[in-house]
Structure 1
Amino acid sequence: MAGEGFRSALEQADDRIVAGRAMDGDVAAFAVLVRRYTPMMRAYTQRMLNASADVDDIVQETFVTAWQRFSELDDPGKVKSWLMRIVSRKAVDRIRALRPVLDVDDIEQEAPAHSAPARVVEARAGIEALGAALQELPAAQRECWVLREMGGYSYEEIAEELEISVSTARGLLARARKFMIVRMEAWR
């Protein structure tokens, strides 16, 4: 009868007391921790492993590890988070172990489309055509177009850079855009 009262008191004790006794080698206290945290650890592991059959094994391995490493627990009051870190690591290790391993040498990968020879030639030709079209623009229109389209400048920044009014910058840019649209139509 006295043993049942002790067990009940141990069940009611806070984590600091129960974990402290378990750290001292008290198997009954350790059993309390197992009963207290197994449901939470199982639920967590089931979510991690998508309800895998390995859940109970991982929880059991966690308690074995905890029993062996109790000396590493700095604060017995934090036994819950300590156990959850252990179970989390074990679940992640299991996920990694189950993940298929592919040998890079077994995978044939196509060259990226942007670096295929035909695409490179096409891109270079487009850049040359753009350069030629820009050279046909009057200097002021070309400067506005380059600052806006390539430099990302605002109308106000273009006006300030070229020392012109904002309305002049808008007009020059509108004419340059119209010319470039017509000239680069084949590259659309």
Structure 2
Amino acid sequence: MSGERFSSALENADDRIVAGRAADGDTVAFAVLVRRYTPMMRAYARRILPGSAEVDDVVQDTFITAWAQLPELENLERVKSWLMRITSRKAVDRLRSSKPHADIDLVEPMASPAATPPRRAEALASVAALSAALKELPDAQRECWVLRELGDYGYDEIAEELDLPLSTVRGLLARARKYIIVRMEQWR
């Protein structure tokens, strides 16, 4: 099998196979994990940290840790949640060690490049409003919301990730969503 076809097959393989090969020291498989999960990890870290340079550092630190600890991961199918848990811990550690006025506004707005300047300004303002609303949430509510809405985690995965009962996760998400809906009403 040629290297290109092998790489393509690996790109389409499920997490258990890719993580298993990476755990055995396969750098090509590990690169697949990096490509597969970097966007999600960056989005999650961006909601916690103030600047993109710190976000990139956290993601890089996460992958360094993952490379060293991947052989110890017992359930290779859970590599996604494991990477997100490492990202979460590293982002929170970095936030705790930084200045107390950490600001998490630095998000690229979702406006089409062809959008008019008023539309771009509106997109920027809505992202800033969402960021401000997220900052106002208690930490547990914000973590649940970010994992669900940005990380696309299921309720069970969030409960496991944050070591909380499922009923607590449901309550935290309900309160976070209610607050965000009320706070973002003008942007509907």
Structure 1 letter corresponding to 2:42 = R
1:60 equivalenced with 2:60 (yes/no): yes
Q: How does 1:37-52 map to 2 (within 5 A)?
A: 37-52=37-52
Tell me what 2:75 maps to. 75
Tell me what 2:90 maps to. 90
RMSD of aligned alpha carbons = 1.3
Return the structure number with greater relative CO, CA threshold 8 A, min gap 6: 2
Runs of 4+ residues deviating >4 angstroms = none
1:24 equivalenced with 2:24 (yes/no): yes
Give unmatched runs, 5+ long, in structure 1.
101-188
Taking the aligned partners of 2:61 and 2:26, their CA distance within structure 1 comes to 19
Give, in angstroms, the shift of residue 35 of structure 1: 0.2
1:34 equivalenced with 2:34 (yes/no): yes
The DSSP-based 3-state class of the residue aligned with 2:47 is helix
Structure 2 letter corresponding to 1:60 = Q
Taking the aligned partners of 1:52 and 1:15, their CA distance within structure 2 comes to 27
Moved more, 45-54 or 69-78: 45-54
Give, in angstroms, the shift of residue 99 of structure 1: 3.5
The DSSP-based 3-state class of the residue aligned with 2:91 is helix
Taking the aligned partners of 1:44 and 1:50, their CA distance within structure 2 comes to 12
Tell me what 1:177 maps to. none
Q: TM-score, normalised by structure 1?
A: 0.51
Give, in angstroms, the shift of residue 63 of structure 1: 0.1
Give, in angstroms, the shift of residue 71 of structure 1: 2.5
The DSSP-based 3-state class of the residue aligned with 1:48 is coil
2:46 and 2:52 in contact (8 A); partners too: yes
- Identity across the alignment (%): 70
Give unmatched runs, 5+ long, in structure 2.
101-188
> Can you list the C-alpha shifts for 1:20-57, whole angstroms capped at 9, x where unaligned?
00000000000000000000000000011144420001
Give, in angstroms, the shift of residue 70 of structure 1: 1.1
Tell me what 2:3 maps to. 3
Q: How does 1:1-188 map to 2 (within 5 A)?
A: 2-100=2-100
Question: How many pairs are equivalent?
Answer: 100
2:48 and 2:91 in contact (8 A); partners too: yes
